Structure 1
Amino acid sequence: MPLFKIFTDKEGVYRFFLKTDSKHISFISTGCSSKFQCLQKLELFKQQAFNNKCYIRLTTERGDPYFKFIKSVTNEVVGDSELFLNRRMMEKKITEIKKVVPVAKVDTLTYSG
């Protein structure tokens, strides 16, 4: 079941992540100073997840594909994906995210990292 979870990292910054299945974190947001801001960023992600232009495809220095997700209007980075073995797997995950985000549940409890 696809699920969003909110957590605080070691520095006390709020973030959310998306699990597209029960095991793997597919996406993690940039930090927010409050839970409210984190929830706003999560809602923005949900609203814009279908927009292919929001997915900026990149490659690490080692050649691992990944993507950054940006706000469509401001180009502000919302978060990053996991690293993938190849571009085909990355594109498959983007397609999966677009499909599951509308039905993903949001766990509103805040977890500590």
Structure 2
Amino acid sequence: MGKFEIKTDKSGQFRFNLKAGNGQVILSSEAYTTKAACENGIESVKKNSQDDSKFERKTAKDGSPYFNLKASNGQVIGASEMYSSTAAMENGIASVKKNAPGAATEDIS
């Protein structure tokens, strides 16, 4: 079972990671100024992760595939790591779809 982890970064802002059951980070958030905004971001991931059209498949300058998850308003709510292949990226998207809806939230901020 996946989980969201809320943490604070060096500048005191809040971020979350969605981790798969094996502990691997599959989605990372932008920085939020408040914990409440960060928690809203997590709810947005849970909701939008079930809509394939919200996943923006991209290619980095070095050719590595990655994806962003966008909210209904078009704002990026999470970004993936860089993947070695398109197939690996699609597995990452499938993992977000599977893990996000029922994931518990652990606050380690």
**Which TM-score band applies after superposition, normalised by the shorter structure?**
over 0.9
Residues 74-85 of structure 1 aligned to structure 2 (within 5 Å) = 74-85=73-84
Percent identity over the alignment? 31
Aligned partner of 1:66 in structure 2 is: 66
Q: CA offset at residue 105 of structure 1?
A: 1.4
Higher strand share: 1
The one-letter code sitting in structure 2 at the alignment partner of 1:94 is I
Indicate the residue corresponding to 1:110 in structure 2: 108
5+ long unaligned stretches in structure 1: none
The answer for the alignment partner of 2:29 in structure 1 is 29
Q: Which residue of 2 aligns with 1:39?
A: 39
C-alpha deviations, 1:20-53, integer Å up to 9, x for none?
1333111100111000100011001101111111
| TM-score using structure 1 length | 0.90
Q: Contact conserved, 2:3 with 2:104, CA < 8 A, in 1?
A: yes
Paired residues, number: 109
**Secondary structure of 1:18's match?**
strand
Cα-to-partner distance string for 1:72-97 (whole Å, 9 max, x where unaligned): 2x101112101110001111111121
| Structure 1 vs Structure 2 CA RMSD | 1.1
Q: Return the TM-score normalized by structure 2.
A: 0.93
Equivalent residue, structure 1, for 2:87 = 88
